[in-house]
Amino acid sequence: MVGISYDTPEDNRAFAEAQGFPYRLLSDEDRSVSEVYGAAKGPDEKWPDFPRRVSYLIGPDQRIVRAYEVGDVNAHPQQVLDDLTAAAR
């Protein structure tokens, strides 16, 4: 599991340390990854300087199995775990 933000590596490191974030945070300062994955917002959208909250479940074949627009950050982990459990059956 990784997270990606527009922040610098230094800012990501400080955030991870301050929040006890256990996952690697990658920097997408030029927003190129966000553009490819559809997470970048257009200039006319609300808060265009922040990417959409999107996560992807990627299968062993490195293909996207499911994309999630994250609305409820508290319920989202269980949703992904349920999908992982269902896929393993």
Give the bridge partners for 25, in sequence order: 3
**SS percent in the chain: helix, strand, coil, step 5:** 35, 20, 45
Does residue 77 share a domain with residue 47? no
The pTM of the full predicted model, rounded to 2 decimals, is 0.74
72 lies in which domain range? 54-89
Does residue 68 share a domain with residue 80? yes
CA distance 51 to 58: 19
| Closest to 3 in 3D by CA, of 14, 20, 18, 16 | 16
The Cβ of residue 51 has, within 10 Å, a number of other Cβ atoms equal to: 20
Residue 55, helix vs strand vs coil = strand
Number of domains in the chain: 2
Does residue 78 share a domain with residue 60? yes
Does residue 66 share a domain with residue 85? yes
Does residue 71 share a domain with residue 32? no
Q: What is the pLDDT of residues 19-78, one digit of tens each?
A: 998 889 999 999 999 999 989 999 999 999 999 999 998 888 888 889 999 989 899 989
